[in-house]
Every structure is written in C-alpha cells, then in structure tokens.
Structure 1
C-alpha cells in the first residue's frame, strides 16, 4: 500500500526574484527626480516621492510556495534598484524594487522610472517619528511638493 509520500517531493514550487544588496542607501540623484515620471493620484490615493535608492541584484530562485524556502538557485540574475518612496509629510513610506540598467559599471533606473508614485495610504508603512523630519526635508530638497 502506498502512503502517498514521494521521496524528494518538496511541495508546490514557483520561480521568484529575491533581492541581494550591492550598495548602501544613498540619496536619490536629482536627475532621477527631475526626469522620472509622475503618477497622478486618484481621490483615495496619496503621492509618494522617491528620496533614496540602493543598487543590488535580483536573483531568480525556485521557491516552495507553501513555506517560502529557497529550493534551488540562483538560476539567473539581473541588476536592480530599491527605491524608498515617502509622503510629502514624511509620515508614510514604502520600498519598491525594479530592474535597473547597468551602464559603465553603475546602475541606472529603468527608462520608465517613476519618481512620484500614487498609492492608497494603506499600502505604505508608518514612519517612526525620529525619521519623519529627515524624510520631509529630503522631499523638499528634491521636489517642489504642493
């Protein structure tokens, strides 16, 4: 009689991209803020401004979807950037990862980089009081928020 157990069966699998840091956080270059796209916000959304970024690698792994455990990989890699977006008042933030372009040994944002995104406030995390002033000043230095 078979118990239904198969040796080596690791459950449901899926390919997923995972982040690997290559640099520390740095202020967003002014050219990225100036040349990035701006999303218009709907009635129930807020605008978040890109203020910091870091370069890294996006690594593709086979992942157990039930446990999140990495099973095999990395199978491939591509340059990526992580960008910190914050509200103009500095009270909410979120981080977005995207593919990057590698040019002359440095990472550049994707051609369609968005420097101001619009999201429901529920998608952003509250920022500790100790960081809010820094974030607010960073938005004011890079942008001219309303």
Structure 2
C-alpha cells in the first residue's frame, strides 16, 4: 500500500511578513503630515488622512499557505510603521503597514510615505460613532481643514 502522504510534510509554504507591536498608537507627527505625498483620488475614490502611527517590527515567517500556521521563524526582521488613515468626516478608516527607516535611533516613515491616500469607500472600515469626533478633529488639526 503506497501513500503520497509523507511524515512531516506541512503542505505549501511561503515566506510572509507579520507585524509585532513595539509602541502604542501616537498622534502622527506634524512633519509627517506636512511632508508626506498626497494621492489624487479617482472619481469613485475618497481621500483618507494619516492621523496616528505606531512603531513595530515586520517579522518574516515561513507559513503554511493552506492553514496560515506559522512553521518557522522569525527568519528576519525590519523596522515598520502602522498608520491609521481616516476620512475627513471621521466615518471610515484604513490601517496600512510599511517598512520604516531607522534614523538616529528612531523610526521614520519610508521616503515614499503618503500622508493622504485615496481608496474606494468599500476598502475602508466603518468607524464607531464614539471615535468619529476625535478623528474629525485630528484631521482638521493636522491638515488645516475647515
């Protein structure tokens, strides 16, 4: 009786980056808002403004692509940032991760960092009513929107 199953075979594998928090959320520095790129929205897109960030590590793991189970790692790491982007009305939000740069012992956004991004509304998540006023004020204060 022969079988194609091999002991220890874990299925299809792929290297994937996973996030590990290193700091709590903090307000986006004004310099990041001022110096970041602005993406122009297409006619069916909305603009979202970066208002919070957090530092972390991007860890590379070997992952079973069928089950999502971590098989081995972390194999390597690099500094990263997570940024919260919200619509001007505070009703929708998106979190994006990217690599960061280490400069003088602190982490900075990548050179191509966008402080204002454009997305289709269905790509953003609804924000709870209890957070919308805070998000609206944050956008208004960081980007001088009226």
TM-score (norm 2): 0.98
Partner of 1:70: 70
Partner of 1:94: 94
- Secondary structure of the equivalent of 1:32? helix
Q: Which runs of 5+ in 1 are unaligned?
A: none
Q: Which runs of 5+ in 2 are unaligned?
A: none
Partner of 2:51: 51
* CA–CA distance in structure 1, aligned partners of residues 145 and 7 of structure 2: 59
* CA–CA distance in structure 2, aligned partners of residues 145 and 82 of structure 1: 23
2:133 equivalent to 1:133: yes
- Secondary structure of the equivalent of 2:112? coil
TM-score (norm 1): 0.98
Q: Provide, for residues 46-91 of structure 1, a one-character-per-residue CA deviation record: whole Å limited to 9, x for no partner.
A: 0000000000000000001111110000000000000000000000
Partner of 2:30: 30
Partner of 1:118: 118
